[in-house]
Amino acid sequence: MTRPVGIEIFYWLDSWSDDQSAAFAKAAEAGYDGVEISLVAGLDVGVERMARTARSLGLDVLCSTGLSPAMDISSPDAAVRRAGVDHLRRCLDDSARLGSPILGGVTYATWMGFFDGDPDGYRERSAAAMHEVAEYASTLGIDVCLEVLNRFETFMFNTVAGCLEYMEMVGHPSVKVELDTFHMNMEEDDLADAVRLAGSRIGHVQVAANNRRAPQYGHIDWASFRRALDEAGYEGWVVFETFPNSRVETGRSTYAWRDLTDRPDQDAAEAARFIRENIA
């Protein structure tokens, strides 16, 4: 089985508000099939420009997003939840314009949002709003993917098993699991077992080493991870995601307190080859 290989474009960018299409050529030169872009900085991100640039370079585009505290679909405030649903619908529209089969990321709550009180209430409100979002996604032929984060970045769920419980609450087939090996390495007892548990419900895969460097480093057992993806019948994207520059906004806000590479272009090209040989 051969899966397409992509890179999260903020690998090369300093700020979340940077022109993402400006780095597309680097992804093409490094040998990737596609780029994962983010709508987290807002919807005025030059979607038409990104579409034109990607087409000119022969790249596919995958979309992700996030929710601010004013657009948190788990919020006790109904107006805030409505703003979040509307935001996700607009992101789905842009995903369709870019030809992305998914809308991934932290789609279910705010990233780094921790609250006092009963977490189940937040999960229930999020799941109810997500069902409405999934209904709209299904009309566009797009899957909403739920990135499973580690315990230091969300309380909603931190394992595939927890994500599947949330998905049961949502109750819609257009919602899928998004695996990220950096987070899985912290939270799962066994990465391959977690992949098998997710099975046909996997919608997207992101990879990085255990220390969030390129996947050719670190100690993750990629052979067993790949076999589990094959057993699950997963045919979607494998995207390399990290934010390696500790001196800029993208690195600082993701806690890269040291530079993760001193040769980003070479590491990216080597990662593309490594993923194709060992994961995709």
Catalytic annotation present for 29: no
3-class DSSP state of 242: coil
Spot the catalytic one: 36, 147, 188, 270.
147
Please name the residues in contact with 167: beta carbons below 8 A apart, sequence gap of 6 or more: 146, 175, 177, 201
Residue 82, CB-side half-sphere exposure with 13 Å CA sphere: 3
Spot the catalytic one: 8, 36, 187, 241.
241
Catalytic annotation present for 241: yes
Cβ atoms 192, 224 nearer than 8 A: yes
3-class DSSP state of 100: coil
3-class DSSP state of 106: strand
From residue 174, give the alpha-carbon distance in Å to each of 123, 138, 143.
Answer: 18, 6, 5
Cβ atoms 54, 35 nearer than 8 A: yes
Task: Give kind and range of the element (H or E) at residue 6.
Answer: strand 5-8
Cβ atoms 160, 205 nearer than 8 A: no
244 vs 214: CA distance, rounded Å: 9
Tell me the helices (H) and strands (E) count for the chain, helix number first.
Answer: 10, 8
Active site residues: 147, 241
